[in-house]
A and B are shown apart, each in its own frame.
Chain A
């Protein structure tokens, strides 16, 4: 009994240490991480919209963008642990409503995921008309959330 118990304690300690590290991940790091991720999403959006503006959109370029966005979209809600709002003491435009109106925030995140999946599916399908129909839904999913849960730039 002695050895397995020892192992259990060791394992529990290790797990606790990992959890503690995660919990202690400075809010500043979380904020920086999510800002970097949002920039990658925005860069992907820029690429997609540039293609859609052109007379001969490149499907590979559009797909590269939709893939990037679809990679991030399921994670977005996890980028906002409690304590990473304005109270973190780091510059962030995350509004307190993210946590006070969590149901609304979650549904905005869900809307992003649906729109990202639809646009990626359309891009993989290769039908430009379908892509052009799906793209505005993704744009409005971005705007919908930003209007409510992101403070203005200035």
Chain B
């Protein structure tokens, strides 16, 4: 056994930032603190866009092409017959995709939503009528609770791995490293310029979406 790198720093920061931001967004929405809600929501939009770019050309364990697998690989993993690798397992990959997809849609709906008094129209709400923006605000909230359901499933899965399979997935998401049998391969970290490119693209796209579109 040896301690090897599995998650790079950007991926871990992305994950833990969302752990803080999602409850903060719920609370600011609930309390109608829309100035903060918008700011934090735009931050999440930037993080999602960053994660999408990082999933295309980031470190090896962050790339969608590296961890998203077909039904065959998922079934093999469930039977316990698949090859052991580092990073997301084939079933966990579905969780990553579902959470990202839901979060992106919650944020996307929020861009077009408005509060019922029309005091805080979202950055793109001017593209739709008041009635549409209100319907989208309702969908924004409903989809958020579906996202919360998937987050609960995600946490339950981690608890299952921890308690039933004695596999701690939380510590590696903090430290980036975990004990693995030697010879299983290691994460290939992306160079700094790729990080800057992904971050730059995410910031530009976010600003275009919320300020200039």
Contacts and interface: CB of A to CB of B under 8 A. Distances in A.
Q: Lowest 3 CB-CB distances: which A-B pairs, in order?
A: A46-B118, A45-B118, A43-B130
B121 interface: yes
Interface string A127-150: 000000000000100110010000
22 contacts: A39-B130, A42-B117, A42-B118, A42-B130, A43-B130, A43-B131, A45-B118, A45-B119, A46-B121, A46-B125, A46-B130, A47-B118, A47-B126, A48-B118, A49-B121, A50-B121, A53-B123, A54-B126, A139-B117, A139-B119, A143-B117, A146-B117
Interface of A: 39, 41-50, 53-54, 139, 142-143, 146, 153
Range class of the B interface residue count: 10 to 19
Prevailing SS type, chain A contact patch: helix
A153 B116 CA distance: 9
B162 to A, nearest CB: 35
B104 to A, nearest CB: 23
Interface string B133-156: 100000000000000000000000
B114 interface: yes
Prevailing SS type, chain B contact patch: loop
B116 A49 contact: no
B147 to A, nearest CB: 18
A134 to B, nearest CB: 14
Nearest to B123: A53
A76 to B, nearest CB: 13
Nearest to A48: B118
B129 interface: yes
B120 interface: yes
Nearest to A54: B126
A50 B116 contact: no
A143 B119 contact: yes
Contacts of A39: 130-131
